Chain A
Amino acid sequence: MPQLSENITLVLGGSIILLQFTLFIIMLILAYLKRGKKHLKEKEFMESEFEKQLLQSQLETQEETLHKLSTEIHDNVGQLLNSTKLLIGITQRTLIQLPNSIPDLDKALEEAMNQTDSIPDSAHTLDMADETLAKAILELRNLSRSFNKDWLAQFNFLHNLETEIKRINAGKTMHILLSGPETLTLKANQQIILFRIVQEILQNAIKHSGAKNVDIRIKEENQLLFISISDDGNGFDENSITKSMGMLNINHRSRLLGGTAQWHTSAGSGTRVTIQLPVNP
């Protein structure tokens, strides 16, 4: 190999220095881009955390409102209905005892009964009113419980869902079928949020779908919880998903649990909602 002259060495040395300079610039650019990416990730994380906290506070407010509503139903409307039931009971007893307590009126009453048959009718009506009132009280009590977070927290998601299904099935306008595991590995507070999601979906089905049957399937697999709720109702145009407040709530709640909610529907062919949530045992 021939000996390199001073000039060649100088040019080569200069070129190598320039090459190092380019490398330095490239490294700087890449480091800048990497820092930018990291910054962007941090920003996205903070935004998602902020959104989560916002959702959390919205849900807490909703829970608070439901709790207030539950207390109102239980303490106010419930008490009034109970009082009314009591009064009906007293009236029923009075009607039974009336002929014995006032013997002088026996004859007159018998005559009146023969003439109009109105008292047995009234007694029967009162019996029915009493029965209906008892049903209304029971219904309201169940409703009040389903609104009450503290009450729900005593039981797990599946137990609360079964109770809710019983309540809805008792109305006989819709029949809900539930299939799934006996226990779930979700945390207690997550179970309440999940219950609210399913509750909202069922309410939507009752109010808007005109469905006769609803099928709820729950499955836990590979640390993921899948819930599928399908009905045989009218379905709807999928483009209107973003317009519904209830659906936004379902989406918000699912995101809060780190999962997703998806609607599969078209007009006239029923609706299937699938919820997918991560499970951390």
Chain B
Amino acid sequence: MDLIKILNLIDVGAPLVTLFFFIKPFKKMTRELHYIFLFVCVQFITNLAASILELIKVNNYAMYAANIVITFSLLSLMFYSLINKQIDKIILACSLFFAITVIVSLLNGDGISYYNSTISAVASFIITAYCLIYFYWKLVNDHQSNGLTKSAFFWISIGLFTYYTGSFFIFMSYKFLINQEANVIGILWRFHNVLLTIFCIYTIYGLTCRNYQKT
């Protein structure tokens, strides 16, 4: 059962450990990496707040909704400044679509009284698309792509890609399953926590690459 406890808390522990790795290179980092730093901060704070609320038996869905909205905004800003200007419009269109989804969902009460699967799944889908666009752009259009594996961004993007792609089905089905099978749903969240840990490991590895520039 210890493993289950660890897996339940790892969504707080892994971002916390990752934050320590940001301290040393913080001054050398570009603005885009500062967005990642904020992303990890948000993950840590919202997951911690959600865990505390769960302990005191208070509804914590708003924390997850806040998490997904803030992290999506941060990642959109990051990819907006990272990817070539020619595909900026795609990011703006996706952000607009996401904003409309959030407004509609909140008007329906999703994310406050219930877990908001819609915005989580949409955010997850869009960020996966951002990552794929980033990889494509780097590999096809960027002549410096040979040094990509030495770039912190490359590994962080791989972490984001793994986390959001792997979590897509979980986010999408969570609202439905929480009503149907509340007693066994914990395993899905633990799986999500493992994916978040994988993201953190990729981020830590990326931060040790010592190349904090955009490429």
Contacts and interface: CB of A to CB of B under 8 A. Distances in A.
A262 B99 CA distance: 62
Interface of A: 2-5, 7-8, 11-12, 14-15, 18-19, 21-23, 25-26, 29-30, 32-33, 36-37, 40
Contact of B181 (A7, A15, A25): A7
Interface of B: 132, 135, 139, 145-146, 148-149, 158, 161-162, 165-170, 173, 176-177, 180-181, 183-185, 187-188, 191, 195
Contacts of A21: 165
Is the contact region of chain A dominated by helix, strand, or loop, or is it mixed? helix
Given A29-B139, A33-B146, A37-B146, A8 B165 contact: no
19 contacts: A3-B184, A5-B181, A7-B177, A7-B180, A8-B177, A14-B169, A15-B169, A18-B169, A19-B162, A19-B166, A22-B165, A22-B166, A25-B132, A25-B135, A25-B161, A26-B158, A26-B161, A30-B149, A37-B146
B128 to A, nearest CB: 8
A40 B148 CA distance: 14
A15 B177 contact: no
Contacts of A4: 184, 187
Nearest to A6: B181
- What 4 A-B pairs come out closest when comparing CB atoms? A14-B169, A19-B166, A22-B165, A15-B169
A18 B177 contact: no
Given A4-B184, A8-B187, A11-B170, A18 B145 contact: no
A50 to B, nearest CB: 21
B152 to A, nearest CB: 15
A29 B181 CA distance: 38
Contacts of B139: 29, 32-33
B183 A2 contact: yes
Given A2-B184, A18-B169, A11 B177 contact: yes
Contact of B162 (A7, A22, A32, A36): A22
A12 B191 contact: yes
A37 B161 CA distance: 23
Given A15-B191, A18-B165, 17 more contacts: A2-B183, A2-B184, A7-B177, A7-B180, A8-B187, A11-B170, A11-B173, A11-B177, A15-B167, A15-B168, A18-B166, A19-B165, A19-B166, A22-B166, A26-B161, A30-B149, A40-B146
